[in-house]
Amino acid sequence: MLRIRTLVTPERRDGLVYRLDARAKILLIFAVGLAAISLDEARLLLCLFALPLLGHGLARFDPGKYKLMLAILGIGLWGVILSQALFYKDWPRTVIFTVVPEDFPVLGWLTGGIFFYREGFTHGLVQGLRFSTMTAFGLLLTWTTEPRDILMGLIRLRMPYGLAFMFITAVRFLPVLISEIATVVTVQRLRGANPVRLGRHSITSAVRILTPVLANSVRRAGTLGASCESRAFNPLRPRTCLEEPRWTLMDLLVCAIPLAVAMTLLITKAAFWLYKTDVLYFPELRWLYQIAREL
């Protein structure tokens, strides 16, 4: 149970990734998000995906965290690619191989055949790399930054305190929630059940796991609300902190350079979209349109 909680709690180590200000990490994630939605080339998105992986390598996490990250990214990437490759509806599309032929009894007649499309695979790879990049950066933020530092960073970035407090509360309770699920599964196994086995009783097992977890979550939410009320908590009042975070040169470089690159990509793509839709065209920007076409 303690082992599971350590997989979702931040680590305290000395290193570049840990010393970065929370605001710099948040702005970096924002910049990467802008770049991810601006890029359509799989090779460029793969290079972008390598950035959070480099950060994970520099952080030197516990091996269990790396296994958890690979499981999350692998399942997400595989699911997106497979679903897009099998059910791609745009044209043109090239069949790589047939999963269910058209003359297959019942299923083939109902679906008209299920095929693995090359264009669907490429489209799924692009979408999956976007998802994986942001997920990897999110894990890097939560595993290298204390929740209170994330809260202060969000507040200093002018996020409303109520939203920031709600987000950090959810992050703080995530390890507890996972620990409770593990406890319920362990108790059911001690009673001779196998709640994680797939089969006709999977839905019943899931309900038996979620019922006590949900009850504890509701009870804990009530306790948290009463605690905030008893301490006269008011998210609208100005707040102070013991240590005011300060920007360092490294923090500025880490967030300023990616933000500049991301905004450049976004403006380039926006100009190309205006040209492509015949809304706005400048002949002297033909070189920019050609670059945007390759991105």
DSSP state of 61: -
pLDDT value at position 283?
Answer: 81
Predicted local confidence at residue 174, as pLDDT: 76
Q: What is the mean pLDDT of residues 30-38?
A: 89
Query: Which pLDDT does position 2 carry in this prediction?
Result: 47
Residues 178-231: pLDDT tens digits?
A: 777 777 777 777 777 666 666 566 677 777 777 888 888 888 888 877 887 777
pLDDT at 166 over 70: yes
pLDDT attached to residue 3: 56
When pLDDT is cut at 50, 70 and 90, the band that residue 172 belongs to is confident
Query: Tens of pLDDT along 247-271?
Result: 888 888 888 898 998 898 888 888 8
Cβ density class 63-77: b for 16+ within 10 Å, e for less: eebeebbeeebeeeb
pLDDT for position 21: 86
The alpha carbon of residue 66 and the mean position of all alpha carbons in its chain are separated, in whole angstroms, by 15
What does the alpha-carbon distance between residue 216 and residue 35 come to, in Å, rounded to a whole number? 40
Whole-number pLDDT of residue 202: 66
Residue-wise pLDDT tens digits, 39-89: 888 888 899 899 888 988 888 888 888 888 888 888 888 888 888 888 878
Segments making up each domain of the chain, as ranges: 159-229
> What are the tokens at 263?
């905004």
> In the predicted model, is pLDDT for residue 160 greater than 50?
yes
The model's pLDDT over 108-141, given as tens digits with 9 standing for 90+, comes to 777 777 778 888 888 888 888 999 999 899 888 8
Stated length of the chain: 295
How many helices and strands in the chain, by DSSP H and E? Answer: 12, 2
For residue 95, give the H/E element and its range. strand 95-100
Tokens 């009894």 map to which residue? Answer: 105
In the chain, the amino acid numbered 93 is R
Tokens linked to 155: 């507040």
Helices (H), 87-234: 107-111, 118-144, 147-156, 161-190, 202-230
Q: What local confidence, expressed as pLDDT, does residue 147 receive?
A: 82
Between 98 and 33, name the one with better pLDDT: 33
In degrees and rounded to multiples of 5, residue 96 shows phi and psi of -90, -50
Tell whether the model's pLDDT for residue 103 goes beyond 80.
no
pLDDT grade for 4, boundaries at 50, 70 and 90: low
